Structure 1
Amino acid sequence: MLRRLPGTGGARALAIVLLRAYLRLALRTTRWTFDIHPDAHPLLTGRGEHSALVAFWHEALVLTPALWWWATPQNPALRLHVLISRNRDGRLVTDIVAPWKIKAIAGSTDRKGKSKGGARALRRMLDQVRNDSLIVITPDGPRGPRRQVQQGVVGLARLSAAPIVPVGACCSAWRLGTWDRMMVPLPFGRGRFVCGAPIIVTPHDH
């Protein structure tokens, strides 16, 4: 669906406005339930001793703003950065969420000698962790396999010493025919976030 949208110009700008309005409507009218582990709560609201890596499966990426809107009233100074691929779809998502104070870090794992901005993205994420920003990552992104954790998130956790907060999310939605079967929320539905106990990666973990 996203690849059919125009790449540049006024038509693309209009598409972004319409998609943003739809996403806001769908997420704001969904009746959310938040099941937050007690140890994860201070991390998700920026009240803990450390920053955190917030891990979603790629299929739930567009639901991220709902968790952000839950957290920020509890700490208006909270900052959120999301690791997003540098491809066309990633740029589109970045533009859609930008007015909601969700900052994007563009890049994905470099593969087969081809640079995809992974090293630069890693440096930026480490800087933001040190500045107490939350970092949202998709452990199975950007291209899967679906729901299989890649080593990038483990390496980032090891280098940053930041705990990983695993997050599961679902809602009334229809799914795209993409590799991740991404959820597109429906308005006036029900949804749930489940945030588990933080995971600490030690230097000896692989």
Structure 2
Amino acid sequence: MSGLMRFIHATSRKRYTNLAVLKAQFDSGKPCIIVAWHNRNILGPFGYLAHRPPGRVFSPLASASRDGSLAAAAMDNLGVECIRGSSSRGGAQALREMLRAAKRGHDLGITPDGPRGPKYKVQAGVIAAARLTGAPIIPMTYQARRRKELSSWDAMIVPYPFGQLHYVYGDPIQVPRDADEAECERLRLQVEQALMRIGELAEHFD
């Protein structure tokens, strides 16, 4: 799987919009939480990995399911060690591991509508992780000009090789440590809207 991911990415022309946001976060030396929709899992990681400076560590969350195991194996082959768990299985342990990783300076990665959906619906877990770690949320997405969309619950996007990819990054969203329930809900909606907005931008290739 990782070999196919590398091949598709390597043979594709890439365009980046608002990449300066990610680079500024790297320059700060502080960890962040990258969020991208579940159906961007195939090439989404390269939106981070292609730009990270030496020494920067990425610790994305992968579900404890069989599909999560396959994703974690692919990420391991890309030099990334996943944190295992989800809102439905092992969530509390995964959150503790994310907190420990953030304290070590690792960047986190979360698919906020995974592992079971609903599609394009941000779950509360990402807000909880941002509030407890103090790390800003950076929305990220990509679109492929030539692609196949699977009949899975998330309509997984499979880019064709030798195509064009457009990666888009959203502005950082900070969740205060003292945010109450109403503020957390407002920020959850803000993350959701930001992901939808950059998704629309990613549809433009020229």
TM interval, shorter chain, is 0.7 to 0.9
What are the equivalent positions in structure 2 for 1:1-206 lying under 5 Å apart? Answer: 19-36=1-18, 38-43=20-25, 46-72=26-52, 75-110=53-88, 116-171=89-144, 172-202=146-176, 203-204=178-179, 205-206=183-184
Over the aligned positions, Cα root-mean-square deviation in angstroms equals: 1.4
Distance 1:26 1:39, change over 3 A: closer
Residue 36 of structure 1, CA deviation: 2.2
Task: Note if contact 1:80-1:101 (Cα within 8 Å) is conserved in structure 2.
Answer: no
Aligned residue in 1 for 2:192: none
What is the rounded CA distance, in whole Å, between the counterparts of 1:39 and 1:26 in structure 2?
25
Residue 49 of structure 1, CA deviation: 4.4
Structure 1 counterpart SS, 2:14: strand
Number of matched residues? 179
Could you say which structure has the larger radius of gyration?
1
What is the rounded CA distance, in whole Å, between the counterparts of 1:35 and 1:125 in structure 2?
28
Residue 21 of structure 1, CA deviation: 2.3
Structure 1 counterpart SS, 2:105: coil
Distance 1:69 1:29, change over 3 A: farther
Residue 131 of structure 1, CA deviation: 1.2
Question: Percent identity of the aligned residues?
Answer: 33
What is the rounded CA distance, in whole Å, between the counterparts of 1:71 and 1:28 in structure 2?
14
What is the rounded CA distance, in whole Å, between the counterparts of 2:49 and 2:123 in structure 1?
28
Kindly provide the CA deviation profile for residues 117-156 of structure 1, in whole angstroms up to 9, marking residues without a partner as x: 1111101111111111111101111111110111010111
Structure 2 counterpart SS, 1:178: coil
TM-score by length of 1: 0.82
Runs of 5+ unmatched residues, structure 1 = 1-18, 111-115
